[in-house]
Amino acid sequence: MAKDTFFQKKTTLNTGGKLIDLNIPKVMGIINVTPDSFFAGSRKPNTSDAVFMAEKMLNEGAAFLDIGAYSSRPGAADISPQEETDRLLPVIEAVVKQFPEAVLSVDTFRATVAETAIKAGARIINDISGGGLDAEMFETVARLQVPYILMHMKGTPQNMAEKAHYEDVFTEVFDYFAEKVYRLKELHVHDIILDPGFGFAKTPAQSFELLQQLKGFELLKLPVLAGISRKGMIYKTLGGTAETALNGTTVLNTMALMNGANMLRVHDVKEAVEAVKLFNAYNSTAKY
């Protein structure tokens, strides 16, 4: 083993035998199989519309597609695991059939839904609750041996807006990650991605503080995902709505890249891929 490699940040993911290198940041496209996600442009409740969006995002350079069937916007209605599965499965099966090389992520906090999606062809589990809303999630991830996106959130989508209280938001999120990463590694989960959960039980000011301190998570030696796309931290700061927040998204995605993000989870793949290309060009010529 080369000197110091034990302490280096992990930058590869094993997605069903396909190794993905995150030294060059990658883009994850969002497809919501829901009627009520916060950004209307991401809502693709019909399978044919979702497959069309998947094709568009893959052509634009998405390395991953994140498919979710449970709206996690603040105050969203709760739905049953069966309804979530019924929305999700036809889309995953159709996308896998049409694009067998695509790397799909399933956006769910429910272990049974996650396992069903993985068996249908998804390769990554993206859990907004970091295992907090389903006690079986960590064991399920360990048994399936798939990459796991560990996000920070307090409470549930229905009440998280009331829980945005912190003495020190970075320290509390860091400690949350450290404890959960320890548990996951005890279960021999090898591929963990950290997501600070911008906007999830966090005010815009708290989200900006996390963005500013994103490099601090490198102490955990794991890849970091930034999910900033069209969120309230943008449009509440600028005025407007999620629909008018694309330019602001690109600005903050660029800041996230400069602060160490390895993955960008976005509604608008083309613009995010361009941000990554320009960021890489800048890095390749920088002398200092």
Encode pLDDT of 215-245 as tens digits: 999 999 999 999 999 999 999 999 999 999 9
pLDDT at 170: 98
Q: Is residue 113 part of a domain?
A: yes
> What is d(CA 8, CA 144) in angstroms, rounded to the nearest whole number?
26
Q: Is 245 helix (H, G, I), strand (E, B) or coil?
A: coil
Q: Is residue 40 part of a domain?
A: yes
Check pLDDT > 50 for residue 2: no
Q: Is residue 3 part of a domain?
A: no
Q: How many domains does the chain have?
A: 1
Set 185, 265, 270, 287: catalytic member: 265
Cα-to-chain-centroid distance, residue 27: 10
| Placement of tokens 């907090």 in the chain | 132
Q: Is residue 2 part of a domain?
A: no
**Tens digits of residue pLDDT in 23-72:** 999 999 999 997 755 445 544 568 898 999 999 999 999 999 999 998 77
Domain span at 242: 23-280
Phi, psi at 286, each rounded to 5° = -70, 135
Grade residue 285 by pLDDT with cuts at 50, 70 and 90.
Answer: confident
> What is d(CA 72, CA 30) in angstroms, rounded to the nearest whole number?
13
pLDDT at 145: 96
6 to 3, 62, 140, 261: CA distances (angstroms): 8, 30, 27, 21
Residue type, 268: D
Mean pLDDT within 267-287? 92
**Tens digits of residue pLDDT in 133-175:** 999 999 999 999 999 999 999 877 778 888 889 999 999 999 9
DSSP line for 9-30? PP-EEEETTEEEE-SS-EEEEE
In this prediction the pTM is: 0.92
> What is the CATH classification number for the domain harbouring 162?
3.20.20.20
Q: Is residue 69 part of a domain?
A: yes
Check pLDDT > 60 for residue 207: yes
Set 221, 231, 236, 277: catalytic member: 231
Q: Is residue 246 part of a domain?
A: yes
Q: Is residue 254 part of a domain?
A: yes
Q: Is residue 62 part of a domain?
A: yes
The reply to whether 231 belongs to the active site is: yes
Q: Is 253 helix (H, G, I), strand (E, B) or coil?
A: helix
